[in-house]
Amino acid sequence: MKRQNGFRRGFTLIELLACQPKPWRRQARAAFTLIELLVVIAIIGLLAAIIFSSLKGAMNAAKNARTMSQIQALDGAIKRYYAEYGKMPAPGTGYNGDKTKENTVFTGADQAKIIEILVNSSNMDDPNANPRQIAFVDLDPKSFNVKTLEEMLSKLDGGKPYPDPWWDGEETTMDDYAYGILMDFDFNGIIEGTDVGNIRAPVGVYSLGNPEKGYTMETTPYRTW
């Protein structure tokens, strides 16, 4: 605006434009549209599926590692027993020295008797099976879904076998998830006549692993031979 005689004659164009009232801002939307809600739900579902798949994969990998560790520990324990006593920790008499018994797969209650010998349980049927009272393997009671050693030994005494990490925790299914054990009873380094043929090892321990895979004794990757 130009001044004349101390008074303004009018506004310039720039000043007039600057004085124009600002348009009202649009009010914030109060809610999402149905399509937007569906998109959000779909994204959440996708992220949940990805997270669940990742967690399941990690859990399976942990079970795989634990299974392999446990079958190696059992295999080593039986070999140490043989080195100590010159025989296998059979669940009864009539096995050691009998080649025809090598096709026997010990699971269920018979496997539990073998484990009792290896952990030096006071409940074993024949104390002479481990006269030097040596614990050839240490087991975690949590593997039996219990907290204490006494509870674990009680499970074994009741015929409950040592289950693999894939066990669902139900007592009625323990036999289905039990580690299988085979032994060389004529001590020539070969377990003969098994369902998978001759095993060139003094001991064979296996797990059927993840039940979703449908493994058999022949196809399972969880074995020590």
Write out the two tokens for 202.
């003094």
Half-sphere exposure in the Cβ direction for 201 (13 Å, CA):
18
Sign of the alpha-carbon torsion through 9, 14, 17, 22 = negative
Residues 118, 81 contacting (CB under 8 angstroms): yes
Q: 161-200 pLDDT, tens per residue?
A: 999 999 999 999 999 999 999 999 999 999 999 999 999 9
Write out the two tokens for 36.
């937007």
What is the pLDDT confidence band of residue 3, given thresholds at 50, 70 and 90?
A: low
Q: Considering only CA atoms, which of 74, 95, 103 is closest in space to residue 198?
A: 103
Write out the two tokens for 190.
């070969």
Average pLDDT over residues 23-29: 54
Average pLDDT over the chain reads 89
If one compares 185 and 27, the residue with the highest pLDDT of the two is 185
Query: pTM of the prediction?
Result: 0.77
What is the pLDDT confidence band of residue 29, given thresholds at 50, 70 and 90?
A: low
pLDDT value of position 90: 96
Query: Residues 121, 142, 61, 45: what is their CA dihedral angle, to the nearest 10 degrees?
Result: 160
User: What are the residue ranges spanned by the domains of the chain?
Assistant: 66-213
What is the pLDDT confidence band of residue 98, given thresholds at 50, 70 and 90?
A: very high
